[in-house]
Each structure stands twice: as C-alpha cells, then as structure tokens.
A and B are shown apart, each in its own frame.
Chain A
Amino acid sequence: MIELKNVSIVFGQGTVNENKALNNINLKVKEGDFITIIGSNGAGKSTLFNTIAGTYTPTDGQILANGRNVTRDPEYKRAKYIGRIFQNPLLGTAGNMSLEDNMTITHKKGMKWLRRSLNNKTRELFRKELVQLRMGLEHRMKENLVMFSGGQRQALTLLMMVLSKPSLILLDEHTAALDPKNAEIVLELTNKFISEYNLTAMMITHNMSHAIEFGNRLLMMDGGEIIFDIEGEEKKALTVEKLIQKFHELRHKTFENDRTLLAED
C-alpha cells in the first residue's frame, strides 16, 4: 500500500534552528492495517502524516504508493487515494454551505466540472448514507453546517471520507477537540467504518488505552523516529503499564513528564 523508505525531513536546514523532524523513517503500511500511533509532543507524528499526505516534501528518501513513487506529488493529487481527518472538526467541511452541497462536493474525488450531480436520486443516496451516523442528520440536508456541532461535523467528515473509498485514511487526533461524549461516538464510528469497509488506516492518539484497544498494529514515536512497532498477538497483550515500561527501556528517559503527555485514559 504505502511505503516510506529512509524518509527524513529537516526544517530550516543549514540554520541555527535546524530541526530534524523525521529521522530516517522506514515504514510499510500493509493493506487492511489499522495502525495507532503514540508519542509525546514533538515526536514527529503529525509531520509523518503531513509527509504521507504530501503537505511536506521529504528532504531525503522516497514514498511509494502501490509501488509508484509519489514523493514529489502535491497534496491534492495524493488526496485522491488518501483520506485525511484533522483535529479541527471544521477543516473537513464547508460551514456556510448546506449538508447536501457538502456531500455533493465530497462524494467523488477529483476536479469538478459543469455538471450538476445534486438531484433527487443523489439526495436519496446521501440520505441513506447519513442514517448510518444515527444523528438524525438525514432530516437536515438543507441546513448550513455552521448550525451543526463539532462532533456532528467530524462524524460527517468521516462518513464523507469513507464514501470516497480512499486506499489509506489518516486520522490526526480527530477526536481530541471534541467533548468526551462526542469523542466516543466519533471513535466508535471510526472503528465501525474501518472494519465494515475494510479500510487501511493510521490514527494518531494521545490516549494510550485507545492506542492499545484499537487497531492491529501500534507505533511509538520519539524524536522523529519510530522507536517501537508492534502488531498482532503481541499488540493484543499490551497494557498501558507495559507500554510505559517499554518507552523507558528504549529511551532511558524518566517518564514523569511523558506520562502526563501520553494520557492514560
């Protein structure tokens, strides 16, 4: 699916502020993987996502998508097969447009031309898909999205992204800005969609128990490197305590500070 070969990113190269955000990353994401990613602030998690999505071009190394070299492809080109959800729930939808207009724009990826695909047939299709969210949004198709809550908008973004059938989805702490109840709903939907549609996904989280509970594979990042990569039965056996222990072993750092960053619940 997606493969990173010796990828490094250096910001401000050659200046005093030189910062190696990603250091020689090698990662192979297999089809059907659901990878959770943890790491303290500044570990390089978001940079990793930005690099995979094409927002940043690597200073070194290669990115392959289905065997094709896409290292230099701009973000909008990769967006055709990589779906992405941000922490900010407003980034995935256009607030001052109606729900049905938003769905018209998102239900097919790629450049839009002069046809009008919003009609009663597509409306019926959208309505059926919206029922899956169980939020009653199917009755509010003509409302502007500014009227919706952050949780509803994030759930919508998730649904619209899933419908476009991306080969990889990147979830960048997509529940972190929501209240606990909505966060749980969105997370449950995420898990449901990923298994139902058999999606390949990567999810950044600050919540260790979520990282352990969800997915079949777990990455731990620190200082721009992937320091720990575990999957299958081994991952199932993980506990929060073991994870903290592992971090300590690998990095010989006191966990006092990081323990608060890698929140446990």
Chain B
Amino acid sequence: MIEGIFVEGLIYGIMVLGVFISFRILDFPDLTVDGSFPLGAALMVQCLLLGMNGWLALLVAFAGGVLAGVVTALIHNHLRVPNLLAGILTMTMLYSVNIRILGNRANVPVLNQPTILTQVTEKFTGIIPDEYILLVFFLIVALVVKVLLDLFFRTDLGMTLGAMGNNEQMVISQGVNPKTLKTIGVGLSNGLVAVSGAFAAQYLGFADVGLGQGIIVSGLASVMIGEFLVLKSNRIGVLTLCALAGSVCFYAVMYVGRFYGYLIHMTPSDLNLIKGVLIIILLIMTQAKKLKVPFKVAK
C-alpha cells in the first residue's frame, strides 16, 4: 500500500515538473496540460498496441506533448491571444484529437500488452521484492528527469528562459526573441506532461480521454505544497526537488482520501472540491507568511 502512494506521486511528479516550468519559470499559466496529459497516455497505448517498443512509444508521447505545447505557444505568440485562452483552445481541440488517437473510443486498455513496466518488472523479479520494483523504477525515472532539467536550466538557454519569466523586457534587450523562448519552454513543459501521462497509462493499464481532467489543478497544488516545504531558494536543483516532493505529498493526501474517505462519508467525486480548497488554503497561508515565491515576476 505505502509504495502505491509514492509511485503515484512520482509518476505525476513528472507532470508537476512540467507545470512548474510553465507556471513558475516562464510565468506562462498554461492550461494545455489538461489535454497533453491524456494525449501522452493515448499515444503510448496506441503505439504499444501497434507493437512498438515501449521506450520508442514514450518518445512518441513526448514529441506529441511538445507539439501540443508548441501549438499553444504559436496561438499565443502570433494571434496575440492571452496565454490562458491559448491553452484552453489547445486543450479543447486535444479532446477530439485524443479520442481520434484512441480510435474513436474514450477508453482503451493495454492489459495484455507488454509495457515498459511489465518489462522492468520481469527483469528485476527476484532481485528486488516485487512490490518495490515499480517504486524504485519510478524513483529513478523521476530523478533522472529532474537532473536533466537542472542541467538544462543551468545552460545559457535555460537561464534566459528563467530571465524571461522574471523580466521579459530584459530578454528583448538582449536581442533574444521572447516568442522563440516561449515556444521552447511551453513545448518542453507539455512534453514532460505527456511523458507523465504515458507512464500513468501503463501503470493504470488503460488510456482514458478523461485522465487529464483537472490535472492542472493537481499540478499547481503540488507545486505550491513543494514551495511550502522549503523556504526561499532560487537554486534550480532545490526548486525541482521541491516540485517532486510536493507531488508525492499531494498524491499521498489524495490516495488516502480515495481509500479512507468513506470513513467520513466522502466520495471520489468530492476530491476535486478538496483539491480546490487545498489550493485556497495554501494561498491564504502563503499570504499570511508573506512568503516570496521564487522566480515570480518583479515588475
């Protein structure tokens, strides 16, 4: 049971890292996430059903997510649509696209297909106790993604992305086109979200078009919890670690709510309300503490 809590938090943690990039580093509130998460799941499941290698399928899911993000960024950049609306547009369109990818169905299972997870489980059976295999695997995956991101944000390009979220005029003054940066950043963010969706689909054993519903709220709540864990730091390594830790905490709470909520007559449909209330509480606490959120715009 306990490993289930962590596994979920780590799988969704990759999505939280994506949300962290768009909301915190780029200061680009991107709602495409609600569509790119099931997009990753749908692409993964369909590629597996076509007999594709799991890691290759993961790459396809990532590419699909990047494309979704790029579409949002292009709508925002070239049609001068506010970023929130651009994200909603892409998210709405993705709903139809996802159903198409799933072959005009809302839900497609992969239960009898070999996935990355079944391969990993087979390989390590006997070496690690069965119930911990996935936990260890996802811990490694999440940390690898985190370290790669840390390295990325320490390059010149990564730093400039951070500067743009902080002060767009400065980036323009450096002769860099902020539109290009936004496209790269939002693309990367959604690529990660899609990868998270792809892993979620394998873990759950199906892809569902409704998987992404409210995922942005979960992602944001996780980011905020993470920021609560460690106070004030602008070191990217600390920030991404916080995002992951926030995700694990958030999904642990949700897990407990799902399994033990009935004790207080709570149903799974109440969880969305709980998520929203959680964010509101976090906002109030943040204000009360006058805690400065890293990478927030100073205008």
For A117, the chain B residues whose CB sits under 8 A away are 156
Q: How far is the CB of A177 from chain B (nearest CB, A)?
A: 14
For B175, the chain A residues whose CB sits under 8 A away are 76-77, 79-80, 109-111
A:54-80 near B, CB below 8 Å: 74-77, 79-80
Assess whether B172 is interfacial by the CB under 8 Å rule.
yes
Which listed residue (B159, B171, B172, B298) contacts A146, Cβ 8 A? B298
Cβ contact within 8 Å between B177 and A95: no
Chain A 84-97: CB-based contact to B (< 8 A → 1; otherwise 0): 10100011111111
For A86, the chain B residues whose CB sits under 8 A away are 169
For A144, the chain B residues whose CB sits under 8 A away are 234
A:109-142 near B, CB below 8 Å: 109-118
Cβ contact within 8 Å between A112 and B176: yes
Cβ contact within 8 Å between A112 and B156: yes
Report how far A92 CA is from B174 CA in the complex, Å. Answer: 10
Report how far A86 CA is from B177 CA in the complex, Å. Answer: 19
Closest to A112 in B: B156
Assess whether A104 is interfacial by the CB under 8 Å rule.
yes
Q: How far is the CB of A252 from chain B (nearest CB, A)?
A: 39
Cβ contact within 8 Å between B159 and A104: yes
Cβ contact within 8 Å between B159 and A105: yes
For B177, the chain A residues whose CB sits under 8 A away are 74, 76, 111
Contact A116/B154 with A94-B163, A105-B160 known, Cβ cut-off 8 Å:
yes
A:172-221 near B, CB below 8 Å: none
Please report whether the interface of chain A is mostly helix, strand, loop or mixed according to DSSP: loop
Cβ contact within 8 Å between B155 and A90: no
Interface residues on B, range: 20 to 34
Q: How far is the CB of B69 from chain A (nearest CB, A)?
A: 18
Assess whether A50 is interfacial by the CB under 8 Å rule.
no
Number of A residues near B (Cβ < 8 Å) is 37
Report how far A118 CA is from B175 CA in the complex, Å. Answer: 19
Among the interface residues A77, A111, A118, A146, which one has the most CB atoms of the partner chain B within 10 A? A111
Report how far A112 CA is from B158 CA in the complex, Å. Answer: 8
Assess whether B167 is interfacial by the CB under 8 Å rule.
yes
Cβ contact within 8 Å between A79 and B172: yes
Cβ contact within 8 Å between B159 and A97: yes
Cβ contact within 8 Å between B156 and A96: no
Assess whether A44 is interfacial by the CB under 8 Å rule.
no
Cβ contact within 8 Å between A105 and B234: no
For B167, the chain A residues whose CB sits under 8 A away are 90-91, 93-95
Assess whether A39 is interfacial by the CB under 8 Å rule.
no
A80-B175, A94-B170 given; name 4 further pairs at CB < 8 Å.
A79-B172, A94-B166, A96-B234, A104-B159
Closest 3 CB pairs of A and B: A112-B156, A80-B175, A109-B175
13 pairs across A/B with beta carbons < 8 Å? A76-B172, A76-B176, A94-B163, A97-B159, A104-B159, A106-B170, A109-B175, A111-B177, A115-B155, A115-B156, A116-B155, A117-B156, A146-B298
